[in-house]
Amino acid sequence: MRLLPSLLLAGLLSGPAAAQTAPALKTDSLNLRKIYDEALLRGQSYENLRYLCERIGGRLAGSPQAAQAVEWGKVTMEKAGCYDKVYLQECMVPHWVRGAREKGQIIGNKNKGVPAAVCALGGSVATPGSKPLRAGVVEVQGLDELKALPDAAVRGKFIFFNRPFDDALVEPGAAYGKAGDQRRSGPAEAGRRGAVGALVRSLTAAHDDYPHTGATNYGDTPTKVPGAALSTIAADQLSQLLKADPKLEFELTMSCQQLPDEKSYNVIGEVRGTKYPEQIITVGGHLDSWDLAQGAHDDGTGVVQSIEAVRLLRAAGLRPERTVRTVLFMNEENGTRGGDKYAAQAQQNQEKHLAAIESDGGGFTPRGFNVQASPAVFQKVAAWKPLLAPYLAGQLTPGHAGTDIEPLAAAVHPTALFGYDCDSQRYFDIHHTAADTFDKVNKRELELGGGAMAALIYLLGKYGL
Amino acid sequence: MRLLPSLLLAGLLSGPAAAQTAPALKTDSLNLRKIYDEALLRGQSYENLRYLCERIGGRLAGSPQAAQAVEWGKVTMEKAGCYDKVYLQECMVPHWVRGAREKGQIIGNKNKGVPAAVCALGGSVATPGSKPLRAGVVEVQGLDELKALPDAAVRGKFIFFNRPFDDALVEPGAAYGKAGDQRRSGPAEAGRRGAVGALVRSLTAAHDDYPHTGATNYGDTPTKVPGAALSTIAADQLSQLLKADPKLEFELTMSCQQLPDEKSYNVIGEVRGTKYPEQIITVGGHLDSWDLAQGAHDDGTGVVQSIEAVRLLRAAGLRPERTVRTVLFMNEENGTRGGDKYAAQAQQNQEKHLAAIESDGGGFTPRGFNVQASPAVFQKVAAWKPLLAPYLAGQLTPGHAGTDIEPLAAAVHPTALFGYDCDSQRYFDIHHTAADTFDKVNKRELELGGGAMAALIYLLGKYGL
């Protein structure tokens, strides 16, 4: 039972933050406490998320639900009452639809089908005519192994990419990174080699029957073949049956299709800084989500936290000295068109961006932030650790900040990028599946995250970089 | 996507651990990696826990399920194959049973009952004759407020202790500590003042319909009156209805009873140290649990981790230089008789205890350890942070280590006590309720905890204190 206030002050006055004056730090410490009182006692993230998940649900770019989410985002920001202005920023987005038919089965030598849980990868083409496509299966552990196979072994087959998550890695995100090329490039490479389709083991450490979707990219492949994810149970079963019967076939049916681009929007709320209005701090998450589920942790939590962070500041009576913008980015999952548009507009307007913060790693218990900055700037930020640590957000780690703010970084070079970092053990269990639902989110964990983001904005807004 | 091995070595060679020699630290780092490979790739905690939760379930001291758990513990330790000997240590335990009848309702002025979710507090007496007990209700915010009430306001009433969790506290454990006196002493104080019973708001931040049980203690109160927990929904409803109708009544029925003490056991497995066998490191959790649920996070996770920690060491080829004992303590929840017995036996045998580690805060993602030790010893332990941090277990905080090892500390003064510390936001949502079930446990989070405990035992076993 730690006594937080005393520890906090002890840490402040003796820690690396001692370079800042003690009275300023005491004020900061008290202001952070105000932010967290609001977050933990009167936080609005959880109820906002409930609405987004349960009333709107899955909201892939271009879908009617994405349009509803845009409207919801605007209204929710206006209701939050913390912005000087709320507006939409138009962008064209890809529009891929899953279609009604989606089925997989393993066909053994007695011609009996064993159902296998599958889903189309985002951006995949349908099976020809949206009809069942039956072919033999070649299992590989990755793109390299496919490359080494002779054409004769590949032609006319499904390539089954079955390299599992490396469970020895402490961070499931690192395992995701290590296994992800199969999903992103597997179908393209399979098509290039004359295969009829690609079956990809779901990118997860979980052993269950949820297939995990996610974007696949054909690049300049001349022949596009369908790509589907298999649940880990289905993948293990297919692998096992293949060992007993290398001639078995897989039958895949998918009716997904790419429709013409649709008009959509980033939703933006802005508070003008009192002292340095030209210096902009962006905080955001992505409003779109995969269609299979409610997009709770990916990235409903980031969306509601990005609104809440600004509301918390204002509710705590802390109007920022620098301009703060909440951006609900459209189309992170299969295009990043919203991020691109926000960056292009910033460049065109010759805006000065101090920092950008993204929350897109789930809404679990905070750890801190991944930081992209020069060593000198990182040092400055690291001095804030003792202020953030009592709220479980004191871990500042050099690392990737977020996909939506990457284009902004390239366009106008903010001084630092921050990715909200939280406990990640459960994230890839539900990521891009039908299980990414509101009930997986814990209210306190979520609200603590909004608090962490507000605290960082407060410090950035007051001290700059 | 942090590259852990390189960070690890960087941290080791420049951090506070630099006092230890670099080659030794490199060896330690590699040995910890072996431990975690075993934990993450071949960990057994999760399947052990499944059995304990789903096949045996709730196992309050003195119950047939507790006896089954003792047998299971012994067999599981023997099967783990990592101990030189496995044995039972007899102790007498209290035997309280809930009984078949347990019901609460709020009776308004139209005599209609509104059901209220209740459960008897552990150790409570029944309502007289196990029959419905109906009385008016006086709401208080705590023991002090009860003290200030005149006798006439209290006599013949239910005292309704309704002080909520302080949600502003970052650690729910601190809120538990702050609200807990109502449950522990509320019924005793109510009886002392002439009330007929006590209704206690469940000790949780969750807003749901699960009542949370837990021990209440009558001390030397001459008049024992029944004490029940109300779910937070029921407590809020009762409070609201009371405001509208201060004369409403509550009707409580409970048929619980205290039976004669039963014989039970701690289950102990020991690995003799190769170099300093007389120095003992104890690692444990408690085998008993409340009767309402499966006792998954409280404390099935601590039990399976305490076995797994030793198995991991041996599987990684790391036989400890000091003696290591896994102790599955009996009767933490309502008596600590197992802890008392283990301590008394240690004292009688004049054993030398180097350290004791307890896991009894749930099986969530690791943070590190709470440490009770002298400043000099704490400094020594703190030097291990860079070894533990890559596995999320590098946070060493002065703080309470655990209830079961307190008697040992008083009896034979181990040099240090450690409480396994993990993410705590969800723990009190399910603590002591029917919702503390196996499905709330995440395999990776659980296995990482066993790894952290093994890593600490490895370092204690090699370096001493």
- The distance in angstroms from the start CA to the end CA of chain B is 35
0.90 exceeded by pTM: yes
Among all residues of chain A, which has the CA nearest to that of B1?
Answer: A174
How deeply is A81 buried, as exposed, middle or buried, from its count of CB atoms within 10 A (0-12, 13-18, 19+)? exposed
In chain B, residues with a C-beta closer than 8 Å to the C-beta of A448 are 170, 425
Which residues in chain A are closer than 8 Å to B173, comparing Cβ atoms? 1
Q: Which residues of A237-253 are buried (b: 16+ CB within 10 A; e: fewer)?
A: bbbebbeeeeebbbbbb
Q: Residue B239 class from Cβ within 10 Å (0-12 exposed, 13-18 middle, 19+ buried)?
A: middle
Tally of CB atoms within 10 A around B240 = 9
Inter-chain CB proximity B399 and A41 less than 8 Å: no
Task: Name chain A contacts of B392, Cβ cutoff 8 Å.
Answer: 170
**Residue B2: pLDDT band by 50, 70, 90 thresholds?**
very low
Q: In which residue are the tokens 């349009």 written?
A: A67
User: Which of A3, A8, A167, A403 is the best residue to mutate to test the B interface, defined by the most B CB atoms within 10 Å of its own CB?
Assistant: A167
Query: What angle, rounded to 10 degrees, do the helices at B172-179 and B181-192 form?
Result: 10
CA distance B348 to A242: 62
B180 chain-A contacts, CB cut-off 8 A: none
Tell if the CB–CB gap between A167 and B40 is shorter than 8 Å. yes
Domain limits of chain B?
A: 4-96+260-463, 99-255
- Residues paired with B419 in a beta bridge: B358, B370
CATH number of A4-95+260-463: 3.40.630.10
What is the topology classification, in CATH, of domain B99-255? Glucose Oxidase; domain 1 (3.50.30)
Tell me the per-residue pLDDT of B270-306, one tens digit each, with 9 for 90 and over.
999 999 999 999 999 999 999 998 999 999 999 999 9
Fold of B4-96+260-463: Aminopeptidase (3.40.630)
Alpha helices (runs of H) in B390-442, residue ranges in sequence order: 406-412, 427-430
Query: So what's the pLDDT on residue A109?
Result: 76
User: Would you say the C-alpha torsion B234, B236, B239, B244 has a positive or negative sign?
Assistant: negative
Is the torsion defined by CA of B237, B192, B247, B166 positive or negative? negative
Minimal C-alpha gap between B370 and chain A (Å): 10
Contacts of A205 in chain B (CB under 8 A): 444
Closest residue by Cα to residue B463 from B254, B320, B256, B250: B320
Nearest CA in chain A to B3: A174
Q: Are A425 and B445 in contact (CB under 8 A)?
A: yes
- B39 has pLDDT over 80: yes
Identify the pLDDT of residue B130.
98
Query: In one letter, which amino acid is B87?
Result: Y
Nearest CA in chain B to A164: B41
HSE (side-chain half, CA atoms, 13 Å) at B239: 18
If we measure between CA atoms, which residue out of A191, A210, A211, A209 comes closest to residue A200? A211
Please report, in angstroms and rounded to a whole number, the separation of the first and last CA atoms in chain A: 35
Residue B205: list chain A partners with CB under 8 A.
444
Say if strands B133-140 and B249-254 run parallel, antiparallel, or are unpaired. antiparallel
Which of A456, A447, A449, A452 minimizes the C-alpha distance to A45?
A447
Helices (H), A43-89: 45-51, 64-80
Q: Which of A189, A249, A308, A332 is catalytic?
A: A332
Residue A225: φ, ψ to 5°: -115, 155
* Cβ separation A172–B444 shorter than 8 A: yes
Neighbours of A321 (CB within 10 A): 17
Q: Which of A6, A170, A207 to mutate to test the interface with B (most CBs of B within 10 A)?
A: A170
Q: Closest to A205 (Cβ–Cβ): which among B365, B426, B444? A: B444
**Interface contact A444-B205, CB threshold 8 A:** yes
Q: Which residues from chain A sit within 8 angstroms of residue B167, using beta carbons? A: 40-41, 444
Indicate the residue type of B392: L
Kindly report, residue by residue over B125-162, the tens digit of the pLDDT: 999 999 999 999 999 999 999 999 999 999 999 999 99
Q: Looking at B38, B308, B332, B445, which residue is catalytic?
A: B332
pLDDT tens digit sequence for B58-100? 999 999 999 999 999 999 999 999 999 999 999 999 999 999 9
d(CA A159, nearest CA chain B) in Å = 26
Contact B40 A168 (CB under 8 A): yes
pLDDT of residue A20: 62
Q: How far apart are CA A452 and CA A423, in angstroms?
A: 13
Residue A1 makes CB contacts below 8 A (sequence gap 6+) with B171, B173, B174, B177, B399, B400
Yes or no: say if A258 and A123 are a contact pair by the CB < 8 Å rule: yes
Virtual CA dihedral for A143, A147, A149, A154, nearest 10 degrees? Answer: 70
Q: Who's near B395: CB < 8 A, 6+ residues apart? A: B367, B368, B369, B421
Contact A187, A214 (CB under 8 A): no
Q: How far is B2 from chain A (nearest CA, A)?
A: 7
Residue B78 falls in the annotated catalytic set:
no
Chain B: closest CA distance from residue A443 (Å): 9
User: Using CB atoms, which residue from B1, B37, B399 is nearest to A168?
Assistant: B37
Q: Fill in the amino acid letter for A239.
A: S
- Residue A134: other Cβ atoms inside 10 A: 16
Are β-strands A257-271 and A85-97 bridged in parallel, bridged antiparallel, or unpaired? Answer: antiparallel
pLDDT of residue B109: 76
CB A105 within 8 A of CB A263: no
Residue B391's closest chain A neighbor by CA?
Answer: A170
Chain pair A-B, CB pairs under 8 angstroms: 80
Nearest CA in chain B to A166: B41
Reading the block at residue A33, the tokens are 């406490």
Tokens 């933490």 correspond to B332
How many angstroms separate the CA atoms of A138 and A392, rounded?
Answer: 47
Across the interface, whether the CB atoms of A36 and B170 are under 8 A apart is answered: yes
Residues of B with CB under 8 A from a CB of A: 1-2, 4, 36-37, 40-41, 167-174, 177, 205, 365, 390-392, 397, 399-400, 423, 425-426, 429, 442, 444-445, 448
Tell me the three state secondary structure of residue B455.
Answer: helix
User: In the Cβ-directed half-sphere of B162, how many Cα atoms lie within 13 Å?
Assistant: 17
Q: Is B154 helix (H, G, I), strand (E, B) or coil?
A: helix
Q: What does the DSSP 8-state code read for residue A223?
A: S
The mean of the pLDDT values for chain B is: 95
Q: Where are the alpha helices (DSSP H) in A214-300?
A: 232-244
Rounded Cα distance between B206 and B170, Å, is 14
- Are A78 and A307 a contacting pair, CB within 8 Å? no
**Residue B298: strand, helix, or coil:** helix
Tell me the per-residue pLDDT of B366-399, one tens digit each, with 9 for 90 and over.
999 999 999 999 999 999 999 999 999 999 999 9
How far apart are the C-alpha atoms of A460 and A258, rounded to whole Å?
42
Task: Kindly state the helix (H) or strand (E) to which residue B235 belongs, with its residue range.
Answer: helix B232-244
Confidence bin at B20 (pLDDT 50/70/90): low
Q: Mean pLDDT for each consecutive 10-residue tract of chain A (465 residues)?
A: 34 43 88 98 98 98 98 98 98 97 92 92 98 98 98 98 98 97 98 98 98 97 96 98 96 98 98 98 98 97 98 97 98 98 98 98 98 98 97 97 98 98 98 98 98 98 97
SS3 B339: helix
**B366 neighbors B36 (Cβ within 8 angstroms):** no
Structure tokens at B435: 């919702």
Predicted pLDDT at A15: 41
Chain B residues in contact with A365 by the CB 8 A cut-off are 365, 423, 425
Taking alpha carbons only, the member of A365, A456, A458 closest to residue A419 is A456
Asked if A205 and B1 come within 8 Å (Cβ–Cβ), the reply is no
CB contact under 8 A, B4 and A426: no
Contacts of A36 in chain B (CB under 8 A): 168, 170
Residue ranges of alpha helices (H) inside A155-214 are 172-179, 181-192
Hey, are the CB atoms on A177 and B1 less than 8 Å from each other? yes
Quote the pLDDT of residue B78.
Answer: 98
* Residues present in chain B in total: 465
Q: What's the token pair of residue A281?
A: 């701090």
CB A305, CB A363: distance < 8 Å: yes
Asked if A365's CB is within 8 angstroms of B425's CB, the reply is yes
Burial class from Cβ neighbours inside 10 Å (0-12, 13-18, 19+) for residue B134 reads middle
